[in-house]
């Protein structure tokens, strides 16, 4: 009875000493800089390199995009808004490629569906609401390239655009603004890219949208005219065929 | 009594001569001479305690801990709070220019890396929070509890001696006062638990009171044993009883007077940790079971008062441990010469030594906290009643026997009996007590380890430190 009691205490003290020793060793190693194993990263200052297959933010290399919309079909949450149109050379191109990252579940199915491998998942995983609030009020609406209308940018210009687009609205300097202004639509439209956030004012965005709407209407009108012409031609052809048939009806019987 | 106390009395008399009633003069002088210095010393230490605890926890868990808040942040915070407009950009520029300046940069680095600047951020956050009093609470009890907790934590400091000349009040019943005033904490926690009208707080409060009442018994027994050994209840005289002339002053400390004292010190330390509700005994807070226990409903400064009380109590335990076992404010070597210094120098040195002893005790407390997991409430109670109380009783009787033996030996060896029992045994008695008691204890431990079945291999692996990888 007494011995069991003493033994209980002795064993308790022994295991206590072992535990204290192990925490003391950890503390010593940590303070003396000899620590091995996982250490905390001071996150905003130090960033961890993501593994190659990391499924981060989506990025679409629009110059390779064929607007097949397979990604939109593969997407289980419908986070894509894709529009395509033809330029005056009648070449088809993507005019809009928006990914609503508030919906995206980073499943990567769209990248598998992409036939040209232009839609990829990048290493980035940070969402800064300030940087990603679109002027139209859609949060996290990413247009990763100067998608709109007709511009094509290469190399250093893309890098610069990416850098400028990551700035906050107030931080875009005069030089950057001038740079953005230089990017012109081949057709003379002043504003092409509604890139990222913040650079364009609501008015400018309205202009872009109006321009887009205008183009769309023009296209529709063109299509309607073409259709009307086609209908007319068809009707004429049908009438002609009917007349012909009427003329040669007794001569030829239609075979089953 | 001493110089400090005399100036206190003189100030009180001056207040009375100004036409104030006598009691009010005493209260005012007490505030000026005792309350303000006490708060000025203990509050920052209690606050820093939180920061150091976070740093220590981080070190033991291979993390970094608070490492970002610095001078820039504090400046911006101060200016934004002090000025009516938000001078963000100006502040930033000013702070950055200031931090680029060499010495300030050094200070900034120090504050940032040690996490001390975090204290300001935490404090402002706490003060800035909304003061919530949930509907359905018992308003009076809910509001009174934090003040009682603070009072319970600070009142015992009245009798803690910091040097020969610096002590709030050297009561002849000092230890009794410590136990009694410290008991307020139990009331505060029960009030908070009951008054919050919440199941978690209720359970936490009940647990806390059960635990505090249980652990006051081993703590009281330990105090009684030391009081018996020193022949006094006054903390100042207790420190004086541990004085040993010569170079090796630490030979007079209670801790090494007898093997029983060593066990007693361990018992006291554990029981005291349990009494101030720190992990591994924080069943009253038990965030994994009770949300936050008794202070679940407390917010902002009310919660802050409880936290402050907790860290003040750790400081108190450090001070008590030092007084009871480690010779109080006395230096481990050459105390004789420190005592002969002029009063001011002596006070400064002694306060520094006392604070260092307190800090070591606090550091060990934190070390324990980040080593052991929380006990279940039944384990906590079992530890108190089945282990600590019997241990303290055994040590009490052991010490009484040692004193008798020492007196007898003294009578035989020196032909005289001491007029009063002495805290320090004559050399022969001291050696004999270590030999006899120590031998008996070691024999008991060895016998106990040999008795019963051996520890299972799996358990043994757990209790031995793992081999380090090369």
pLDDT in tens, B46-89: 778 888 888 888 888 887 778 777 777 777 777 767 666 666 66
Residue B327 and residue B381 in one domain: yes
Q: Is residue B470 a part of any domain in this protein? A: no
- The pLDDT value given to residue A156: 65
User: CA of A17, closest CA in chain B: separation in Å?
Assistant: 9
Residue B40 and residue B110 in one domain: no
User: pTM higher than 0.80, yes or no?
Assistant: no
Confidence bin at A160 (pLDDT 50/70/90): confident
Contact A6 B462 (CB under 8 A): no
Q: What structural domains does chain A harbor?
A: 58-211 (3.30.70.20)
**Buried b or exposed e, range A99-110, using 16+ CB within 10 angstroms:** bbbeebeeeeeb
Whether the pLDDT of residue B421 is over 60: the answer is: no
More confident residue, B278 or A226: A226
* Residue B17 domain boundaries: 3-60
Contact B60 A4 (CB under 8 A): no
Residue B151 and residue B41 in one domain: no
Query: Which residues in chain B have Cβ-Cβ distances shorter than 8 Å to A39?
Result: 62-64
Residue B350 and residue B388 in one domain: yes
List the single residue in A3, A4, A19 with the smallest CB-CB distance to B371: A19
Q: Is residue B414 a part of any domain in this protein? A: no
**What average pLDDT score do residues A160-168 get?**
66
Contact B63 A7 (CB under 8 A): no
Residue B49 and residue B80 in one domain: no
Residue B80 and residue B14 in one domain: no
Residue B153 and residue B253 in one domain: yes
Confidence bin at A196 (pLDDT 50/70/90): very low
Residue B80 and residue B153 in one domain: no
How many structural domains does chain B have? 3
Closest chain A residue by Cα to residue B451:
A3
Q: Is residue B382 a part of any domain in this protein? A: yes
Residue B382 and residue B242 in one domain: yes
More confident residue, A197 or B141: B141
Closest chain A residue by Cα to residue B368:
A20
Average pLDDT, chain B: 82
DSSP chain A: -HHHHHHHHHHHHHHHHHHHHHHHHHHHHHHHT---S-----TTTS-PPPPTT---SEEE-GGG-----HHHHH-SS--EEEEEEE-TT--EEEEEEEEETTT-----HHHHH-SSS-EEE-S-----HHHHB-TTS-BTEE--S--STT----HHHHHHHHHHHTS-GGG--HHHHHHHHH---TTS-S-----SSSSS-HHHHHHHHHHHHHHHHHHHHHHHHHHHHHHHHHHHHHHHHHHHHHHHTTT-PPP-
- The pLDDT value given to residue A118: 81
User: CA of A141, closest CA in chain B: separation in Å?
Assistant: 29
Query: Which residues in chain A have Cβ-Cβ distances shorter than 8 Å to B53?
Result: none
The complex scores an ipTM of 0.76
Whether the pLDDT of residue B34 is over 80: the answer is: no
Average pLDDT, chain A: 71
pLDDT tens, residue by residue, B222-242: 999 999 888 888 888 888 888
Residue B257 and residue B145 in one domain: yes
Q: Is residue B421 a part of any domain in this protein? A: no
Whether the pLDDT of residue B290 is over 90: the answer is: no
**What average pLDDT score do residues A137-162 get?**
48
Contact A6 B448 (CB under 8 A): yes
Residue B106 and residue B143 in one domain: no
Q: Is residue B305 a part of any domain in this protein? A: yes
pLDDT tens, residue by residue, A3-13: 888 888 888 88
Mutation choice for B interface testing from A2, A4, A7 by most B CBs within 10 A: A7
User: CA of A34, closest CA in chain B: separation in Å?
Assistant: 11
More confident residue, B466 or B310: B310
């Amino acid at each position: 009875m007494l011995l069991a009691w003493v033994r209980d205490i002795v064993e308790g003290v022994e295991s206590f000493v072992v535990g204290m020793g192990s925490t003391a060793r950890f503390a010593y190693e940590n303070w003396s800089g000899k620590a091995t194993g996982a250490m905390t990263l001071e996150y905003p200052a130090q960033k961890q390199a993501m593994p190659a297959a990391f499924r981060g933010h989506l990025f679409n290399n629009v110059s390779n995009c064929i607007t097949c919309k397979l990604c939109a079909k593969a997407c289980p949450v419908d986070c894509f808004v894709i529009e395509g149109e033809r330029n005056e050379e009648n070449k088809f191109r993507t005019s809009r490629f928006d990914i609503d990252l508030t919906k995206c579940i980073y499943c990567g199915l769209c990248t598998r569906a992409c036939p040209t491998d232009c839609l990829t998942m990048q290493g980035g995983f940070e969402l800064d609401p300030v940087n990603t609030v679109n002027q139209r009020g859609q949060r996290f609406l990413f247009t990763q390239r100067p998608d709109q209308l007709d511009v094509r940018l290469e190399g250093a210009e893309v890098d610069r655009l990416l850098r400028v687009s990551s700035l906050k609205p107030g931080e875009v300097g005069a030089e950057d603004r001038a740079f953005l202004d230089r990017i012109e639509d081949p057709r003379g439209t002043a504003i092409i890219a509604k890139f990222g956030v913040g650079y364009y004012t609501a008015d400018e965005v309205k202009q872009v949208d109006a321009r887009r709407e205008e183009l769309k209407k023009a296209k529709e009108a063109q299509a309607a005219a073409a259709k009307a012409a086609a209908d007319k031609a068809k009707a004429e052809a049908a009438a002609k065929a009917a007349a012909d048939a009427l003329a040669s009806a007794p001569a030829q019987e239609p075979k089953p | 009594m001493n110089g400090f106390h005399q100036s206190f009395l003189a100030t009180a008399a001056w207040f009375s001569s100004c036409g104030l009633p006598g009691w009010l003069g005493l209260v005012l002088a007490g505030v000026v001479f005792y309350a303000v210095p006490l708060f000025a010393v203990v509050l920052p230490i209690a606050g820093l305690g939180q920061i150091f605890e976070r740093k220590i926890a981080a070190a033991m868990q291979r993390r970094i801990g608070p490492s970002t808040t610095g001078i820039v942040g504090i400046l911006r915070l101060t200016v934004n709070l002090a000025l009516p407009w938000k001078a963000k950009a100006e502040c930033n520029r000013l702070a950055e220019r200031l931090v680029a300046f060499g010495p300030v940069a050094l200070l900034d680095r120090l504050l940032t890396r040690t996490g001390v600047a975090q204290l300001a951020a935490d404090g402002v956050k706490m003060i800035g929070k909304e003061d919530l009093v949930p509907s359905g609470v018992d308003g009076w009890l809910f509001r009174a509890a934090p003040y009682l907790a603070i009072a319970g934590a600070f009142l015992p400091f009245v009798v803690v001696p910091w040097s020969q000349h610096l002590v709030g009040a050297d009561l002849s019943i000092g230890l009794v006062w410590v136990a009694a005033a410290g008991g307020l904490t139990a009331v505060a926690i029960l009030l908070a638990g009951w008054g919050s009208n919440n199941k978690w707080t209720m359970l936490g409060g009940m647990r806390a009171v059960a635990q505090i009442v249980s652990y006051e018994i081993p703590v009281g027994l330990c105090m009684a044993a030391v009081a018996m050994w020193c022949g006094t209840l006054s903390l100042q005289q207790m420190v004086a009883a541990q004085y040993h002339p010569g170079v090796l002053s630490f030979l007079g400390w209670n801790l090494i007077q007898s093997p029983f004292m060593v066990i007693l010190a361990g018992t006291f330390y554990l029981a005291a940790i349990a009494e101030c509700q720190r992990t591994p005994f924080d069943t009253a807070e038990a965030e994994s079971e009770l949300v936050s226990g008794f202070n679940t409903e407390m917010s902002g400064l009310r919660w802050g008062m409880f936290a402050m009380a907790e860290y003040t109590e750790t400081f108190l335990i450090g001070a008590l441990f030092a007084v009871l076992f480690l010779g109080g404010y006395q230096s481990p070597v050459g105390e004789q010469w420190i005592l002969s210094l002029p009063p001011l120098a002596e006070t400064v040195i002694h306060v520094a030594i006392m604070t260092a002893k307190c800090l070591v005790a606090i550091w060990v407390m934190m070390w324990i906290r980040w080593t052991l997991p929380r006990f279940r409430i039944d384990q906590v109670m079992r530890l108190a009643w089945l282990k600590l109380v019997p241990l303290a009783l055994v040590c009490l009787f052991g010490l009484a026997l040692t004193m008798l033996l020492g007196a007898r030996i003294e009578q035989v060896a020196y032909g005289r009996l001491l007029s009063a029992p002495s805290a320090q045994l004559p050399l022969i008695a001291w050696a004999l007590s270590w030999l006899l008691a120590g031998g008996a204890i070691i024999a008991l431990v060895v016998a106990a380890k040999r008795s019963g079945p051996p520890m299972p291999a799996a358990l043994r692996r757990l209790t031995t430190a793992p081999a380090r990888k090369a």
